[in-house]
Structure 1
Amino acid sequence: MQLAVRLTPRGGRDGADGWALDAEGRPYLKVRVASAPVEGEANAALIGFIAKSLRLPKSAVRLAAGATARLKRLEIDGVEATDLERAFGPRP
């Protein structure tokens, strides 16, 4: 499954701030991490947070696009839409 995420590095804490819609009406998850966007630290924190929230190993979550952008696309193995809703609330 693919998941669109808007990441806010140096957000003071690791956490999800809910769902939002982009200009085309596609849902994305707003996530903040305490790590800085230096040498991939924020991306690693994002992967760790998503894996922990979904109770998956970190190896099940991969960054598919957006390594240096705020809007990222993750590929997640072994997860269904209901798992995302349980962890982060219903999509808009």
Structure 2
Amino acid sequence: EDPYHLLDYDEEEDPEMDTEERIMPPKPMSEARMREIIRDHECKEKDRVKFAMATLRGRALTWSNRRTKSTGIEAANNTPWSEVKK
């Protein structure tokens, strides 16, 4: 599965560019909007975690990055939704 599936991409990509250069960062999203999307799309718990992690900013992003580094991406993606939404 593409780990960047939630991110926006340029319509016309230069195939010579590195993947890192072609990926645009996710747009900022309010907590209320994130909860609305999760509710409206009836996301499964594991998908909620991946979606929420892709929208983090500031201290929350720092927490997520540290946790992912210490536990690994698989464990981070399997974090219970109840822990992520704290």
Using the size of structure 1 for normalisation, the TM-score is 0.29
Using the size of structure 2 for normalisation, the TM-score is 0.30
